[in-house]
């Protein structure tokens, strides 16, 4: 039977997330794109909800995240904010909404924050450090994203593992350091050898790294909700685990995910690692 919802849980703040990280408690993040699923994953105890631009594929039926607009992200962030009670909400800045200038990034971030996001996420390293600094200086918490950055799928030549060779790993480490110094509080690390993600975390101890296909040394984990509930059709990446396989409700599956992230039994390096 699904356990009762903890109605006493206080809203998760950046301060609380930093405290968890300092104390070695893993951070559990999942995507959600609407009020119903936001409520469900919040009730099941996730620390953070990512309103990811992966909704371009999972909700809108596109082949990539590239077509998603800032207005669509604002709409879905509003939906999630209405359903959520306590989780920390990260709003994804979509392709084309922050690359033009720091001012464009600020306008897009303000729109997401006013829609109910607590933090914005942007992809890439190098030039993004300046934008991260500009946003954090203006009171906007930022989550960066390195490794496989899906908005650059065409430039990367597909959904490939990143940082496999020494030069790639060194660049990733340099970008992570620059983003940390620029003020990023959180960093999604996607699809890379576990050793590279572990090195990034070790280089930047205060940074909350959130892995997806990046091993178990990160401060937390994120998965796409539709993938871990086995709703997604087609071949899934190796790093996904089907948390619905043991039956029960969707909320039970999310509770199993949260428990597995917290006790570090997910990801299993032998099964999900690179």
Q: Could you give phi then psi for residue 117, rounded to 5 degrees?
A: -70, 150
Backbone dihedral angles phi then psi of residue 92, each to the nearest 5 degrees: -80, 130
Instruction: Decide if residue 54 touches ligand KIV (CB under 6 A).
Output: yes
**What CA–CA distance (Å, rounded) separates 224 from 222?**
7
Instruction: Tell me if residue 269 is catalytic.
Output: no
Pick one of 43, 47, 53, 178: the residue that binds ligand KIV (CB under 6 A). Answer: 53
Which residue is at the shortest CB distance from ligand KIV? 52
Closest CA to 182 of 205, 164, 207: 207
CA dist 18 and 264 (Å) reads: 18
> 3-class DSSP state for residue 143?
strand
Least Cβ distance, residue 174 to ligand KIV (angstroms): 21
- Is the Cβ–Cβ distance between 49 and 42 less than 8 Å? yes
Within 185-214, which residues bind ligand KIV (CB under 6 A)? 188, 190, 212
- 92: contact with ligand KIV by CB under 6 A: yes
Taking CB under 6 A as the rule, does residue 176 contact ligand KIV? Answer: no
Q: How far is the CB of 1 from ligand KIV (least distance, A)?
A: 31
Query: Is 50 an interacting residue with respect to ligand KIV (CB under 6 A)?
Result: yes
Minimal distance in Å, beta carbon 224 to ligand KIV? Answer: 5
Which ranges in 9-92 belong to alpha helices (H)? Answer: 14-22, 35-43, 55-58, 70-83
Closest to ligand KIV by CB, 135 or 214 = 214
Chain contacts with ligand KIV (rule: CB under 6 A): 31, 50, 52-54, 92, 188, 190, 212, 222, 224
């Amino acid at each position: 039977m699904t356990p009762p919802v903890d109605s006493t849980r206080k809203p998760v703040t950046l301060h609380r997330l930093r405290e968890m990280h300092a104390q070695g408690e893993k951070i559990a993040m999942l995507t959600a794109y609407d009020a119903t699923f936001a409520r469900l994953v919040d009730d099941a105890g996730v620390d953070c909800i990512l309103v990811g631009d992966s909704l371009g594929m999972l909700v809108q039926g596109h082949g990539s995240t590239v077509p998603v607009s800032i207005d669509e992200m604002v709409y879905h962030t509003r939906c999630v904010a209405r359903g959520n009670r306590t989780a920390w909400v990260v709003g994804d800045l979509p392709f084309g909404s922050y690359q033009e200038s720091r001012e464009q990034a600020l306008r897009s971030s303000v729109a997401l924050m006013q829609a109910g996001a607590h933090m914005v996420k942007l992809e890439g390293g190098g030039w993004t450090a300046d934008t991260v600094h500009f946003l954090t200086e203006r009171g906007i918490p930022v989550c960066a994203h390195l490794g496989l950055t899906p908005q650059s799928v065409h430039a990367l030549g597909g959904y490939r593992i990143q940082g496999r060779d020494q030069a790639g790993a060194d660049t990733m480490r340099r970008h992570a350091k620059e983003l940390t110094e620029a003020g990023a509080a959180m960093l999604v690390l996607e699809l890379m050898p576990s050793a590279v993600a572990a090195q990034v975390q070790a280089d930047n101890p205060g940074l909350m790294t959130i892995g997806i296909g990046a091993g178990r040394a990160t401060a937390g984990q994120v998965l796409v909700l539709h993938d871990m509930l086995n709703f997604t059709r087609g071949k899934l990446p190796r790093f996904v685990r089907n948390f619905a396989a043991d039956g029960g409700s969707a909320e039970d599956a999310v509770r199993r995910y949260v428990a597995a992230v917290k006790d570090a039994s997910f990801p299993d390096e032998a099964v999900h690692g690179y």
